[in-house]
């Protein structure tokens, strides 16, 4: 599209440079192109993203949607001036949710609000979004960048988005077949993911850019705390989709804000409970540091963070080994952390 005649000196004087927006779009097109799949019908730049639904072989196709952002993890990305992975987080928080009902992601749209549109920075952010889309198989079919002078400092931005997926109605994972004796399998996280950063900011004095953030630490394998916190959220879509083809998956929980105590119960039906063995959970070193520096009680840690488990999956005990083998074949480690028991009072017990 030709934007040579599109320039408003008055708007620029008010703090919004529309030509920067055009440049950002041009810079991000190469990233968007990486995400194209069979459903894409047009290119970025129009007023709406068009997508053809792949419903062949489905009796009752159901669309599943999810929306989220990266929370105050963005603050750390801004402090570190590292913007190439935060977009992965935005995609992960959405697609990891919709895979919990068995839906295959189809497409994603992002929204970036910024104090000042720096095209190269925006394109880098979108590059991360595109990488998340590639990892999940979703197409990035559109988005919006909004410049908000006076509302946000010039260096600040926020990032959110939403994903749409599809699943045959008869294959929706609704926990109705879950039974006593089923096994709870953990899929390891890459770290904090995108939740609990308000507590992290307090514990590590992030808002004041504490030098502690940038000291390499032996327990983190030589990484700094800042580097460990900024590691992007793992996207579980492809290995879970492979698992669904061969194993009777009865429930999936994406462990996000609220940790074990809020998220695991969301996939457990009334009358049953997930008994989680805390000693089996492979807690990552970054969580030990949060507990240590913040003097955070263990229950609060498990009620805020994923503690090293980004997703839990419930399968029949007889299929547990097969499930872990399939996950491994698809690049995903896993291990058993608990069982499903009868309990009318609670839906998760950590012991």
* pLDDT for the residue numbered 225: 97
* Phi-psi map region of 259: left, alpha, beta (phi>0 left; psi -120 to 50 alpha): left
Instruction: Tell me the per-residue pLDDT of 9-48, one tens digit each, with 9 for 90 and over.
Output: 655 665 666 677 778 778 888 888 899 988 888 765 577 8
* pLDDT for the residue numbered 3: 54
Cα separation of 46 and 138, whole Å? Answer: 19
pLDDT band for 49, please (50, 70, 90 cuts). confident
Q: List phi, psi (to 5°) of 78.
A: -65, -45
* pLDDT for the residue numbered 304: 97
Structure tokens at 333: 């480690």
Residues 6+ apart with CB under 8 A from 100: 173, 252, 253, 254, 267, 311
Q: How many CB atoms neighbour CB 120 within 10 A?
A: 12
Instruction: Tell me the per-residue pLDDT of 255-308, one tens digit each, with 9 for 90 and over.
Output: 999 999 999 999 999 999 999 999 999 999 999 999 999 999 999 999 999 999
Q: What is the DSSP string of 108-145?
A: EEEEEEESS--HHHHHHHHHHHHHHHHHHT-EEEEEEE
pLDDT > 70 fraction of the chain, expressed in percent and rounded = 93
Structure tokens at 346: 């609670």
* pLDDT for the residue numbered 12: 63
């Amino acid at each position: 599209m030709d934007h040579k005649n599109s320039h408003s000196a008055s708007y620029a004087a008010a703090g919004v440079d529309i030509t920067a927006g055009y440049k950002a779009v041009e810079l991000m097109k190469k990233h968007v192109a990486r995400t194209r799949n069979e459903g894409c019908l047009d290119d970025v730049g129009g007023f709406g993203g068009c997508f053809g639904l792949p419903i062949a072989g489905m009796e009752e196709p159901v669309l599943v949607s999810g929306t989220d952002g990266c929370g105050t993890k963005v603050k750390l990305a801004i402090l570190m001036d590292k913007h190439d992975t935060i977009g992965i987080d935005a995609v992960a928080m959405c697609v990891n949710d919709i895979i919990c009902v068995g839906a295959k992601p189809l497409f994603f749209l992002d929204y970036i609000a910024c104090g000042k549109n720096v095209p190269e920075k925006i394109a880098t952010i979108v590059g991360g979004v595109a990488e998340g889309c590639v990892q999940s198989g979703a197409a990035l079919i559109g988005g919006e960048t909004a410049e908000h002078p006076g509302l946000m400092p010039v260096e600040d931005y926020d990032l959110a988005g939403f994903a749409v997926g599809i699943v045959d109605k008869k294959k929706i994972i609704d926990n109705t077949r879950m039974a006593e004796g089923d096994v709870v399998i953990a899929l390891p996280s890459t770290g904090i993911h995108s939740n609990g950063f308000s507590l992290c900011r307090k514990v590590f004095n992030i808002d004041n850019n504490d030098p502690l953030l940038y000291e390499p630490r032996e327990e983190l394998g030589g990484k700094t705390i800042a580097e460990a916190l900024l590691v992007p959220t793992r996207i579980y879509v492809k290995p879970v989709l492979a698992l669904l083809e061969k194993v009777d998956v009865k429930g999936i929980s994406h462990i996000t804000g609220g940790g074990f105590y809020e998220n695991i119960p969301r996939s457990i039906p009334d009358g049953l409970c997930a008994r989680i063995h805390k000693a089996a959970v492979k807690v990552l070193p970054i969580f030990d540091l949060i507990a240590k520096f913040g003097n955070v009680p263990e229950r609060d840690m498990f009620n805020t963070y994923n503690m090293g488990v980004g997703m839990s999956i419930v399968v029949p005990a007889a299929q547990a080994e097969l499930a872990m083998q399939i996950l491994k074949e698809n690049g995903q480690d896993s291990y058993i952390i608990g069982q499903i028991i009868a309990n009318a009072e609670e839906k998760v017990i950590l012991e």
